[in-house]
Amino acid sequence: MKLHSSMVMFGLLASFGSSSAWAYDTTFPASTFGSVGSEIAGVDGWTINDPGFYGSTATVVPRVETTMSYANQLPNDGTSLAAELGGYYDYPQDGTLATVVLSHATPNQLQDVAFRVDFLIQPSNAQYPGRDGFGFSFRDASSNNLIRISLTPATNASNDAYQVSYTVGNSTPVNAMDVSSNPIYIFENTVHTLSLAVTPNGADPTFSVKLVSHDINGNIASTTTFAGKATGLGSANVDSFAAEWNLIAAGSNGLVFDNLRVGEVQPVQLAVTSSGSNLNFSWPSRTGKTYNLRTSTDLATAPASWELVPGDIAATPALNVLSFPRPADTKRFYVIQEWLAPN
């Protein structure tokens, strides 16, 4: 998320903001992707690095809003499809492991990009009970990873749990932790909304991640956020966004995803004024968005890690207004974060 500041004179308060202009936005409509089971690779700019041992792997699956099968839980308008990556696909014949990558070109600077996606992981069946891993990533022109969010079968939790982690470049994966320093897990057969936005920070951009998990009835069950630093990648360029299938156990599970948006981060201007003993905050808001207001007394820390004042603020277009008692600090900074509201 790109940060823009405006200085106001009562103490020293700075306001920052961000939002996204989507370069690619799809619900995998049948009018573009064809009938159920059609290949995604080669359509609408999608490509795949099929390792070539059993053929192509990425297909589209049906969407019927009234059913609760794994694909049909994803929110949509009842007429489009969803992407599926996974299924009956064994180890390569030479015995090595592989990663299947389904990607779409989204050229941009890494420090200015964001994505959001609805997804779930369908469980394996009894015939092929293993569980493979999945993920989403930004990649450069040589298909090298820049930032990856990985979903790996957990070894220290229940059989349907996946550990959430992130990887920057070719570094060691880092387990994602919530605000209480607990590992973040997701579970099969439930819908999740994942959002990631990158913030310029010189040679070391930072990124914020929000994960909203739903129960089987579609209600929000939990919301977790975490942040990371893309050390040394301040000048890196993104060539593509990718969905990944990591073949680690010859399972029959799959990643089903929809409502994908990838784009460049643009500023949202936060205004701060003083009214007696209160501070008044206002910013342009849009339908379908939620907002987090964060604060810190130290600009040296990444805004994504600043203290959350209120979070998950619903949009009240065309303007959101918030007021609370002015803090005692002589210098304090605020950032507004914009996210797509969970469906």
- Residues 81-136: tens digit of each pLDDT: 888 888 765 444 444 557 888 999 998 889 889 999 999 998 888 887 888 899 99
User: Among residues 241, 232, 215, which one has the least CA distance to residue 101?
Assistant: 241
- DSSP code per residue over 210-265: EEEEE-TTS-EEEEEEEEEE-TT-TT-EEEEEEEEEEESS----EEEEEEEEEEEE
For residue 30, give every residue at least 6 positions away whose Cβ sits within 8 Å of its Cβ, in sequence order, or none.
79, 80, 81
pLDDT at 107: 87
SS3 147: strand
What domains lie within the chain, and their CATH numbers?
A: 6-18+267-340 (2.60.40), 25-262 (2.60.120.200)
The listed range with the strongest mean pLDDT (68-72, 73-77, 174-178, 266-270) is: 174-178
Query: 15 pLDDT band (50/70/90 cuts)?
Result: very low
In this prediction, residues 134-157 reach a mean pLDDT of: 91
Average pLDDT, the chain: 80
Under a CB-based contact definition with an 8 Å cutoff, are residues 143 and 105 in contact? no
Under a CB-based contact definition with an 8 Å cutoff, are residues 229 and 205 in contact? yes
Model confidence, pTM: 0.74
- Rounded distance, CA 242 to CA 80, Å? 21
- Give Cα separations from 296 to 13, 22, 73 (angstroms): 10, 29, 39
Q: Which of 123-132, 134-143, 200-209, 317-326 has the lowest mean pLDDT?
A: 123-132
Q: What is the pLDDT of residues 41-94, one digit of tens each?
A: 888 999 888 655 444 456 666 543 333 345 566 776 555 788 888 876 544 444
In the predicted model, is pLDDT for residue 11 greater than 60?
A: no
In this prediction, residues 288-308 reach a mean pLDDT of: 80
pLDDT at 104: 94
pLDDT at 73: 67
Q: Which of 75-84, 216-225, 226-235 has the lowest mean pLDDT?
A: 75-84
- Rounded distance, CA 269 to CA 29, Å? 34
pLDDT at 103: 93
In the predicted model, is pLDDT for residue 166 greater than 60?
A: yes
SS3 173: coil
In the predicted model, is pLDDT for residue 300 greater than 60?
A: yes
Q: Is the peptide bond before 318 cis (omega within 30 degrees of 0)?
A: yes
Under a CB-based contact definition with an 8 Å cutoff, are residues 304 and 39 in contact? no
